Structures are given as structure tokens and as C-alpha cells.
Amino acid sequence: MVRSNRWVNLGFQLAALVLALLFTTLILLAAGAPPFDAYANILRGAFGSMINFTDVLAAWVPLLLTTAGLLITFAAGLWNIGVEGQIMLGAIFTTWVLRELQDTSMPPALIITLGILAGMIGGALWAMLAGALKTFGGVNEIFGGLGLNFVATALTLWLIFGPWKRPGVASMSGTVPFDDKLALPAFTGLRLSPWALGIAMIAIVIVYLLLQGTYFGLRLKAVGKNPKAAFLLGIPTWQYMMFSFVLCGLFAGAAGAMQVVAVYHRLIPSISSGYGYLGLMVAMLINYQALWAAPIAFFYAALNIGSIQLPIVLHLDSSLSGVLQGMLVLFVLLVEGARQRLMKKA
């Protein structure tokens, strides 16, 4: 009985995948583009060469870190849309520490470590702000977080065009790149750092254990599912919510730090690369189960990287990957609703 149910569920999930592909194909046809060429192009762009594949992994790192953090806030019943800004603040703090320390005699490894730690703190502080707005100001975390995202964007732009501008003319290309020695060591000839990969994997394992096996995780879930009852059971509710914001901010800040020390080696205007919103989608798609975070985040990273070539090769906008990613979540939600409805009737 249980087993057949599992197969039925798998069938529904496959149906969601098929529907999402079908609709995206229709959209491609509507745009007058050859669908199969587009998909093949995305596949080639993601897995066509070692460089492409390692680029996917490099994108997987911040996405997985962000998703890991979001699983904590989701467990506490919070929609931390402000995660996007938390990534940016992580990147800003990391850049700041690297700029301050790059001309000192400190060993580069120490500077990088301090930079990453600073990034985590930056993300956590920004998350705390959203948490404080919710706890002490009654501002829903969705709106508080969104507002803070826009403020974080402004802060990034202001730094790039103001205090941290390149000598001569400031531009959208960002701040002056750091010296190679301040980059996380990468595989030779590739843009992928084994250190970054390791950090991301450790992060998701920590979050998995935290949510599945610890008293803290269980209490957090109780707060997320029913804050009033959790409070009466003796759990300090608002402190737990606040703490989950801080934890998520730490992970998001780490993602921002990775963008600086492992990917861009400077601060750029779109430093978060939209991984915050993407992480929210990944978390929704895996129904907030940490176990599935790694593969699904990898799939989404592959779509992102795979679509980069679309404008050049097929003259299509690279936002196609976003359409497909969103359609998948949308259809998973719709199909899940349909499944529940059918099960109830049966």
C-alpha cells in the first residue's frame, strides 16, 4: 500500500516535469524559436565541456549554500525573501575585509578565511534586521525582506560607484579585481575551487543533521508549525525565529563570500546572481526536505549556466532558464494540489 503510493507520487511528479517542459516548449514556439535546439543548447552549455561542467558546479556552490540556509527559515515557518540581500551583504563584507587587508603582510589564507567569516557575519546581520522588523515591528518578513533587498542593491551600487570605485571611471563592471593570491585556490585551468565545493557540501550536511536529528531542529519545526503551542510548550518562540534568521543569514552570507573569493574576485552590481530567489524556488520544489537539496540545486545551477549561450547562439534571452525553473515549481505545486484533491475524493 505504502509502496504503491510512493509510485503514484512519483508519477505525479513526473507529470509535473512533463507539463513544465510542455509549457516552456509552447512558449518557445510562440517566440518563434526551435525548442529542441534551445534545449540542446542548454544541455551543451551545461555539460558540453569540462569547463562548462565545472562552471555548473561553481554556480551550484552559492545556490546550495543559500538553499541550506533557507531550509532553516522555512522550518521556522518564515518566508525569508530577504535572502537575496543577505547574499549581497555577505559579498560586501567579504570585499570590505579583503580590501582592508590586501596590502598587509598577513598570509593570504588568513585574509580569505577572515573575508569569508566577515561575509557570514554580514549576511547574518542583514537577516537580523529582517528578523527584528518582524519580531519587534510586526512587519511581515516578505515585505521587510523585499525592502531590504532593494536597499542592499542600492548599497552595492553606491559602493561600486562611490567609495570603492575603480580609479578613473566607475562602471557596472564592479570594483578593482583582487590579486590572484586572494582567490580561493581553484583546480588548474578551471574556475572551480575544491574548497568552495567542500564548504557547500558541509553546509547542506550540517543543515540536514540540524533539522532531522537535533532538539533544536525539532523545536524550530514546532515554532514553524504552531508558534502559540510551541510557546506554551516552553520554547522561546521569537528567539528561535530570530535565531533561524541569523543562521540563514550566515549561510547566505557565505554564499555571497563565495561569489567574491571564488567566482568574481571583486564586487559587481549583480553579485547575488539571483541565487536568493532561485534558492527559494529550489526549497519549494524539494518540499523543504534537505535530502533533495543537492541534486535539485545542481539541476537549477545547470539550467542557469546552460542558458548563458542562448542569446549568442539562438538570439534568445537567457531568462528562458528562469521560465523553465519557475514553471517546474509552479507545476509541482499545481500537480501536488491536484493529487491531494484526487486522493481525498478516492
Partner 1 sequence: MDTQTLITGLAGVLFAAAPIVFAVLGETFSERAGVINLSMNGSILLSAMGGFAVAYSTENIFLGFLAGVLIGAFVALIVAFASITLKQSQVAVGFVLTLVCRDLSYFLGNPFMGLPGPRLPSLPIPLLSKIPVIGPLLFNADLMTYFSYLLIFLAWAWIYRTRPGLMLQGIGERPAAAFVRGANVNLMRYVYTVLGGGFIGLAGATYSLSVKAGWNGTISGLDGIGWIALSITIFGGWNPLRAAFGAYLFALLQWLGLVLQPSLPGIPSQVLQVAPFPLMILTLLFVNIGNAEWVERTLAAMPESTRRVLARLLRALRASPPAALGVPFESE
Partner 2 sequence: MGVGNLPMNVELKHIHKHFGKVHANNDIVLNVPSGTIQGILGENGAGKSTLMKVLSGFIQADSGEILLDGHPVTIHSPADAIQHGIGMLHQDPLDFPPMRALDNFLLGHSGGLFPDRKAVARDFKRLAAQFDFSLDPDSYVDSLTVGERQQLEILRLLWLGARVLILDEPTTGISAIQKAKLFETLRKLTAQGMTVIFVSHKLEDVEVLCHTVAVLRAGKLVGEVKAPFQTKKLVELMFGKEISLGARQAAGPGRSVLELRGVAIEDIRLRMSDINLSVRGGEVIGLAGMEGSGQGPFIRACAGLMRTVGGRVLVNDRDLTGKSYHAFKRNGVSFLPASRLEEGLVPGLTLTEHFVLSEETKGLFIDREGGRKLAEDRISSFNIRGTPLSTVESLSGGNQQRALLALLQDPLSLILLEHPTRGLDIESTIYIWNKLKERCKQGAAIIFISSDLEEILQYSDRVLVFFSGKVSSPLDASKTTVEQLGNLIGGKGWESLKTEKAHG
Binding site for partner 1 (CB under 8 A): 27, 30-31, 79, 81, 133, 135-140, 142-144, 146-148, 150-151, 153-154, 157-158, 161-162, 238, 277, 280-281, 284, 315-317, 319-320, 322-323, 325-327, 329-330, 333-334, 336-338, 340-341
Please identify, using beta-carbon distances, which residue of 151 and 201 lies nearer to partner 1.
Answer: 151
Quote the least distance from Cβ 175 to partner 2, whole Å: 41
Residue 236 lies near partner 2 (rule: CB under 8 A): yes
Name which position in 6, 181, 225, 341 contacts partner 2 (CB under 8 A).
225
Name which position in 79, 216, 288, 292 contacts partner 2 (CB under 8 A).
216
Buried b (16+ CB within 10 A) or exposed e, 187-200: eeeeebbebbbebb
Residue 213 lies near partner 2 (rule: CB under 8 A): yes
Residue 206 lies near partner 2 (rule: CB under 8 A): no
Please identify, using beta-carbon distances, which residue of 165 and 221 lies nearer to partner 2.
Answer: 221
Quote the least distance from Cβ 158 to partner 2, whole Å: 41
Contact 149, 84 (CB under 8 A): yes
Residue 270 lies near partner 2 (rule: CB under 8 A): no
Residue 221 lies near partner 2 (rule: CB under 8 A): yes
305 half-sphere exposure, CB direction, 13 A CA radius: 27
Cell of 101: 587587508
Residue 194 lies near partner 2 (rule: CB under 8 A): no
Q: CA 131 → CA 50, 81, 140, 227, 304, distances in Å?
A: 42, 11, 9, 15, 30
Binding partner of 215, given partner 1, partner 2, none, CB within 5-8 angstroms per partner class:
partner 2
d(CA 73, CA 223): 11
Quote the least distance from Cβ 181 to partner 2, whole Å: 38
Residue 232 lies near partner 2 (rule: CB under 8 A): yes
Residue 229 lies near partner 2 (rule: CB under 8 A): yes
Binding partner of 43, given partner 2, partner 1, none, CB within 5-8 angstroms per partner class:
none
Q: CA 248 → CA 116, 174, 241, 255, 339, distances in Å?
A: 15, 26, 11, 11, 32
Please identify, using beta-carbon distances, which residue of 72 and 261 lies nearer to partner 2.
Answer: 72
How many angstroms from the chain centroid is the CA of residue 83?
8
Helix axes 50-75, 275-285, angle to 10 degrees: 70
Helix axes 35-47, 2-30, angle to 10 degrees: 110
Q: Could you please report the per-residue DSSP string of 76-115?
A: TT---TTHHHHHHHHHHHHHHHHHHHTTSSS-HHHHHHHH
Contact 246, 127 (CB under 8 A): yes
Binding partner of 143, given partner 1, partner 2, none, CB within 5-8 angstroms per partner class:
partner 1
Quote the least distance from Cβ 211 to partner 2, whole Å: 11
Please identify, using beta-carbon distances, which residue of 21 and 333 lies nearer to partner 1.
Answer: 333
d(CA 292, CA 189): 31
Interface contacts to partner 2, rule CB under 8 A: 213-216, 218-219, 221-222, 225-226, 228-236
